[in-house]
Structure 1
Amino acid sequence: MPQSSQNAGTALILSAFRKSLPALLLCLMALPAARLLAAPKVHTVTLGPNRRVAYVPTDATPETKPDESSTLHIRALYVDDRQKEWTTGPLHDVTDRTFTVRRALRLNDALPSDSAPRWVWEPGPWLMVDRTTGHITALHLPDFDSTVSNVVWFRDYAAYCGIATTARGGLYAIVAQLGARRAVVQKQIGRWPQANHFIPVCQPAKWQRLPMRVTIQPTSGEATTYDVLGSSSLVEEGDNSDEN
Structure 2
Amino acid sequence: MLVDRATGHLSQISLPNFDLTYSATSWYRDYISYCGLSEDGKTVYAIVAQVGRRKPILKKSVGEVKDDGKAAYECSTPTWQRQPVRVSFQSQEGQKLTFTVRGHAVDVVDDTAEEEGTE
Q: How high is the TM-score relative to the length of structure 2?
A: 0.75
**Cα distance in structure 2, aligned partners of 1:168 and 1:159:** 19
**Cα distance in structure 1, aligned partners of 2:54 and 2:86:** 20
The residue identity in structure 2 corresponding to 1:226 is F
Aligned to 1:172: 45
Aligned to 2:62: 189
Q: Does 1:207 align with 2:80?
A: yes
The residue identity in structure 1 corresponding to 2:16 is P
Compared with structure 1, are the counterparts of its residues 194 and 172 closer, same or farther at alpha carbon in structure 2 (3 Å cutoff)?
A: farther
**Cα distance in structure 2, aligned partners of 1:193 and 1:179:** 33
> What is the number of equivalent residue pairs in this alignment?
102
Q: Secondary structure at the match of 2:102?
A: coil
Higher relative contact order (CA 8 A, sep 6+): 2
**Cα distance in structure 2, aligned partners of 1:161 and 1:224:** 12
State the 1:156 CA deviation: 0.5
**Cα distance in structure 2, aligned partners of 1:168 and 1:216:** 20
Q: Which structure would you say has the larger Rg?
A: 1
**Cα distance in structure 2, aligned partners of 1:222 and 1:140:** 28
Q: Secondary structure at the match of 2:103?
A: coil
Structure 1, unaligned runs of 5 or more: 1-126, 232-244
State the 1:181 CA deviation: 2.0
State the 1:131 CA deviation: 2.9
Compared with structure 1, are the counterparts of its residues 142 and 213 closer, same or farther at alpha carbon in structure 2 (3 Å cutoff)?
A: same
Aligned to 2:91: 218
Q: Does 1:160 align with 2:34?
A: yes
**Cα distance in structure 1, aligned partners of 2:94 and 2:13:** 28
1:170 touches 1:193 (CA, 8 Å); kept in 2? no
1:98-152 CA-partner distances (Å, limit 9, x unpaired)? xxxxxxxxxxxxxxxxxxxxxxxxxxxxx10123322211111111112221100
1:42-81 matches, within 5 Å, as none
**Cα distance in structure 2, aligned partners of 1:186 and 1:194:** 23
Runs of 4 or more off by more than 4 Å in structure 1? Answer: none
Over the aligned positions, Cα root-mean-square deviation in angstroms equals: 2.1
Aligned to 2:24: 150
State the 1:220 CA deviation: 3.8
The residue identity in structure 1 corresponding to 2:15 is L
Greater helix proportion: 1
